[in-house]
């Protein structure tokens, strides 16, 4: 009622002002003895502007109408009556009216802004709450609460999150329209944090929406019923719109910043090589998560060799008290919960989430946590561990934020997995080296132990053979030949094993002397002679007349030649026909052992000198061997700066050539 009266009064005042000014102008004209004051139109336009500023647009329009009538009656043609204008009078009046209209509109707009600004300063809230809309959790989360009165300050508002339609804030978010509740204590929709007694207050909630996207809700409250009014709404709405815009900008900035942070951490993880100790990688991972998430507490659990998830690192502003379980193993069900491949990240409210395992709930409770994210770390199919991030206050996450955390988790998993693989590999290599060492030691001892009795056996056999121990029947002699032959073979094998052990151990350096290779060749020929005779073979030897001096270990060279000659006999199906040549060519000493045996296929030739390599040849089923002979030949010859080569025609025979540098005087 009073509003209408006030409006009526302002119209009256406006029209009254016009008449007062008109009377003043008429009086002035009379006093000055002129027809009229020429600038009356300008004065009226200014008056309309003033009225619009003080009283509003309606009274100003009324004043304009009044002034048009007054002008017509008193001023156009001062004759005190309406109508009968000249066209120039009509144009003057119209111009005046239009000018007044323009001024009124301008004043109206500026005034509106001014009022808004003043009111904004004036809105006297006692509790301000800014809620953000968490798209993935579909909940409103309080991000800022400013309390200016005791009843608000004593409540922890952050503990409440709201779904759409929940609470006055939730209703405003759902309808996307502002909502004013004069007395929240009487409104069943109002949600207070648990244990709070309702406050007699006015609550105003305004949704923040930009481009159809719900950003959140601004909620204001003031103690006392009806203490906030409908008039406060436009101001709040404009604040909400601007806040939403500012938040959108800030979000974009934060987005860029966070991406850079994530990339920096990932880079730091990638540069980790085997040298970085395990704890440091884990520390880096944890720090990366803390930087990126701003979590109050972060824990990294890693699957170790014992199949349990150990606490590898934990940190943050806020550590759980000492009572919190630290290195507890997880049960299979707990791991399954975390490792569920369908869940890229688990966001939970630890106080209400039923799927949270007991152990996790306990940790959260001890630490007073109200928002957690679990990020499983998978390297391919392998579940490496997980990161738990906790916040004391409810938090909301944008999908991009979660995406970045997941990316980091994936990188961390790879870094951890790589390090574990490296560690496994290292211990495997160590075990292998140990095994290899034992094998060599055994070979050396075994061959050494065989050598001595063998020498004794061969000594007695040759005494028997040359008749020193009396004559023998022909049958026994034949058996003795075989005995000698086999013991020769055995000797070569034993020597080989000894040589191999020595070469590989690197412990015993070769005893280098200057020697005539012809002597070594002759010695080897003597040793192969029994076998050759047994097989009824033939031998053609062509050695240079001059000494063939080389630097080398005579035992090793002898063993190499033994191997070549033995092979020549062994791989000749019929009676062996062997040629041995020893000469000097272009400053190098050369020994060739040629046979007319089975020969070697082209494909096999390139691998012949590899350790344990043997050609599979059905023709030679009974040819025993270990595949280390030629390997030793090459090791010995190349060790002396020489080389060994093979030429062969399958079915026709092979020729092995050794070349060594001539020893200088
Ligand atoms: P092993 O004689 O103990 O088998 P080697 O290293 O001495 O080991 O020889 C490797 C393989 O090379 C032999 O298994 C054989 O097939 C082939 N080989 C070596 N010498 C000859 C040869 N003179 N004629 C044909 N094949 C040969």
Q: Domains plus CATH for the chain?
A: 2-122 (no CATH), 127-250 (3.30.450.40), 261-411 (3.30.450.40), 510-661 (3.30.565.10)
Is the pLDDT reported for residue 107 higher than 70? Answer: yes
Q: Give CA–CA dist 375/360, Å, rounded.
A: 14
Q: How confident is the model at residue 364 (pLDDT cuts 50, 70, 90)?
A: low
Taking CA atoms only, the protein residue closest to ligand 1 atom 21 is: 567
- Cβ neighbors of 502 (< 8 A, separation 6 or more) are 444, 508
Q: Give CA–CA dist 188/191, Å, rounded.
A: 8
Q: How confident is the model at residue 323 (pLDDT cuts 50, 70, 90)?
A: very low
Q: How many CA atoms lie within 13 A of 343 on its CB side?
A: 17
Percent of the chain with pLDDT over 90: 26
305 lines ligand 1 (CB under 6 A): no
Q: How confident is the model at residue 665 (pLDDT cuts 50, 70, 90)?
A: low
Structure tokens at 89: 């009078």
The CA-atom distances, in angstroms, between 26 and each of 37, 48, 206, 534 are 8, 18, 54, 159
Q: How confident is the model at residue 334 (pLDDT cuts 50, 70, 90)?
A: low
Distance between Cα 608 and ligand 1 center (Å): 7
Compute the mean pLDDT over every residue in the chain, rounded to the nearest whole number. 84
The H-or-E segment that residue 274 falls in is none
Is the pLDDT reported for residue 325 higher than 60? Answer: no
Average pLDDT for residues 139-158, to the nearest whole number?
Answer: 86
Q: Of ligand 1's atoms, which has the minimum distance to the CA of residue 609? A: 6
Q: Of ligand 1's atoms, which has the minimum distance to the CA of residue 656? A: 23
Per DSSP, the three-state class of 575 is coil
Please tell me what DSSP assigns to residue 319. P
Q: What is the pLDDT of residue 549?
A: 94
What percentage of the chain's residues is helix, strand, coil (to nearest 5)?
50, 20, 30
Distance between Cα 154 and ligand 1 center (Å): 94
Q: What is the pLDDT of residue 340?
A: 59
654 lines ligand 1 (CB under 6 A): yes
Q: Which segments of 135-182 are extended strands (E)? A: 139-147, 161-162, 179-181
597 lines ligand 1 (CB under 6 A): yes
Digit-coded pLDDT (tens) for 502-532:
787 766 677 889 999 999 999 999 989 888 9
Digit-coded pLDDT (tens) for 401-425:
888 888 888 888 888 888 888 888 8
Q: What is the pLDDT of residue 179?
A: 92
Q: Give CA–CA dist 374/372, Å, rounded.
A: 7
Q: Give CA–CA dist 214/175, Å, rounded.
A: 11
Digit-coded pLDDT (tens) for 619-642:
665 566 788 899 999 999 998 999
Q: Give CA–CA dist 637/552, Å, rounded.
A: 9
Determine how many CB atoms are found less than 10 A away from the CB of residue 212: 6
Q: Give CA–CA dist 44/420, Å, rounded.
A: 90
Q: Give CA–CA dist 301/278, Å, rounded.
A: 13
Q: Give CA–CA dist 351/159, Å, rounded.
A: 10
What's the N-to-C CA distance of the chain in angstroms? 134
Is the pLDDT reported for residue 344 higher than 70? Answer: no
> What are the strands of the beta sheet with 201-210, ordered from one edge?
161-162, 139-147, 127-134, 213-223, 201-210, 179-181
């Amino acid at each position: 009622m009073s509003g209408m009266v006030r409006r009526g009064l302002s119209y009256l005042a406006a029209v009254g002002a016009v008449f007062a000014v008109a009377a003043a102008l008429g009086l002035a004209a009379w006093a000055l003895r002129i027809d009229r004051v020429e600038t009356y139109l300008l004065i009226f336009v200014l008056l309309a502007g003033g009225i619009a500023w003080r009283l509003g647009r309606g009274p100003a329009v009324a004043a304009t109408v009044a002034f048009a009538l007054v002008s017509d009656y008193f001023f156009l043609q001062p004759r005190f009556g309406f109508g009968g204008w000249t066209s120039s009078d009509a144009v003057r009046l119209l111009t005046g009216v239009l000018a007044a209209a323009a001024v009124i509109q301008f004043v109206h707009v500026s005034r509106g802004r001014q009022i808004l600004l003043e009111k904004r300063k004036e809105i006297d809230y006692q509790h301000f709450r800014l809620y953000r809309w968490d798209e993935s959790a579909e909940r409103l989360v309080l991000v800022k609460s400013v309390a200016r009165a005791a009843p608000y300050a004593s409540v922890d508002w952050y503990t409440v999150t709201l779904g759409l339609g929940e609470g006055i804030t939730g209703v405003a978010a759902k309808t996307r329209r502002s909502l004013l509740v004069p007395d929240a204590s009487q409104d069943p929709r109002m949600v207070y944090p648990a244990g709070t007694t309702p406050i007699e207050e006015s609550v105003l909630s305004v949704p923040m929406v930009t481009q159809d996207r719900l950003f959140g809700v601004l909620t204001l409250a003031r103690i006392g019923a009806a203490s906030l009014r409908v008039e406060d709404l436009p101001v709040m709405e404009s604040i909400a719109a601007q806040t939403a815009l500012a938040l959108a900008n800030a979000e974009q900035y934060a987005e860029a910043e966070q991406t850079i942070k994530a990339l920096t951490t990932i880079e730091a993880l990638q540069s980790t090589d085997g040298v970085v100790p395990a704890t440091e990688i884990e520390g880096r991972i944890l720090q990366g998560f803390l930087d990126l998430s701003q979590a109050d507490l972060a824990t990294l659990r890693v699957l170790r060799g014992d199949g349990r998830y150990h606490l590898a690192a934990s940190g943050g502003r806020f550590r759980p008290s000492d009572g919190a379980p630290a290195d507890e193993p997880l049960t299979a069900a707990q791991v399954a919960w975390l490792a569920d491949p369908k869940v890229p990240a688990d966001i939970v409210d630890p106080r209400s989430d039923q799927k949270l395992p007991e152990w996790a709930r306990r940790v959260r409770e001890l630490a007073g946590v109200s928002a957690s994210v679990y990020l499983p770390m998978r390297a391919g199919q392998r579940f490496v561990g997980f990161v738990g991030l906790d916040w004391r206050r409810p938090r909301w996450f944008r999908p991009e934020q979660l995406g970045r955390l997941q990316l980091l988790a994936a990188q961390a998993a790879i870094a951890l997995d790589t390090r574990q693989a490296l560690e496994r590999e290292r211990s495997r290599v160590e075990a292998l080296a140990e095994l290899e060492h034992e094998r060599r030691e055994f070979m050396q001892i075994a061959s050494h132990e065989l050598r001595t009795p063998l020498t004794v056996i061969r000594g007695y056999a040759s005494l028997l053979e040359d008749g020193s121990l009396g004559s023998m029947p022909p049958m026994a002699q034949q058996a003795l030949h075989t005995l000698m032959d086999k013991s020769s073979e055995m000797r070569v094998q034993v020597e080989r094993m000894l040589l191999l052990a020595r070469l590989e151990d690197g412990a015993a350096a070769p005893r280098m002397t200057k020697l005539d290779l012809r002597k070594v060749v002759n010695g080897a020929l003597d040793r192969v002679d029994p076998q050759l005779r047994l097989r009824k073979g033939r031998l053609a030897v062509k050695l240079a007349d001059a000494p063939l001096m080389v630097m080398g270990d005579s035992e090793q060279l002898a063993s190499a030649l033994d191997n070549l000659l033995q092979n020549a006999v062994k791989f000749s199906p019929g009676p062996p026909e062997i040629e041995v040549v020893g000469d000097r060519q272009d400053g190098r000493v050369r020994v060739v052992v040629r046979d007319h045996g089975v020969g070697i296929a082209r494909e096999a030739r390139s691998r012949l000198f590899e350790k344990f390599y043997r050609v599979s040849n059905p023709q030679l089923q009974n040819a025993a061997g270990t595949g280390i002979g030629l390997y030793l030949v090459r090791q010995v010859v190349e060790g002396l700066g020489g080389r060994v080569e093979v030429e062969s025609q399958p079915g026709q025979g092979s020729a092995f050539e050794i070349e060594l540098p001539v020893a200088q005087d």
